[in-house]
Amino acid sequence: MPEQLPITTYGMEILRKEVKPIKEVDTKLIKLVQDMYYTMDNAEGVGLAAPQVNENISLCIVDISCIEEHKHVKPLTLINPVIIDKHGESVIEEGCLSIPEVRGKVTRPEKIFLKYNDFDMKELTMEAEGFFARVIQHEIDHLHGKLFVDYLDEDELKKVKAMLNKIKKFKVQPDYPIFSKA
């Protein structure tokens, strides 16, 4: 049975660390992936990276099929993902389960090419664009200690500063479990 994991929040050190690559897939990793999907679904998210559940490894998941216009897109588990090329640009408002109640406009490439490992540790490549590409980029950023608020311009950042401070002090309680201490 999958387990609901608490989500790390803004201000916690693990969200700013570079992750370690995964060398092998074992039952512990498979269980973690199952727990991450369960956690993400219960938090009504579309992506989740290992640092968001307090694991310092190169793993993230994406599932945008809960959104009507993306219901045909299959869930994706990315082990050791790396973006190898990007094209175009778009600006869309983003949010993050680790930064509850905060949203901001972020500019990202519209189309990406990436490589990653599957559960057999086989290297695969893929192309993604639009919203799917944006969610993948957001999650891969987590693997490098980068958060969507790092992309906000000075004016946008000023608007969310007070809420970021509340999150850092654990004074925000979303509808899903979070770590209660740094």
Residue 56 in tokens: 């310092």
Give me the architecture of the 13-168 domain, per CATH: Alpha-Beta Complex (3.90)
The active-site residue out of 24, 139, 154, 156 is: 139
**What does the CA dihedral 26, 32, 38, 41 come to, rounded to 10 degrees?**
-110
The count of C-alpha atoms lying within 13 angstroms of the C-alpha of 89, restricted to the half-sphere facing its C-beta, is 3
pTM of the model: 0.95
- Measure the CA–CA gap between 165 and 123, rounded to whole angstroms: 40
User: Is pLDDT above 60 for 26?
Assistant: yes
pLDDT in tens, 69-82: 999 999 999 999 99
**Tens digit of pLDDT for each residue in 37-63?**
999 999 999 999 999 999 999 999 999
Structure tokens at 127: 């192309």
Active site residue 139: yes
* 160, 149 Cβ separation under 8 angstroms: yes
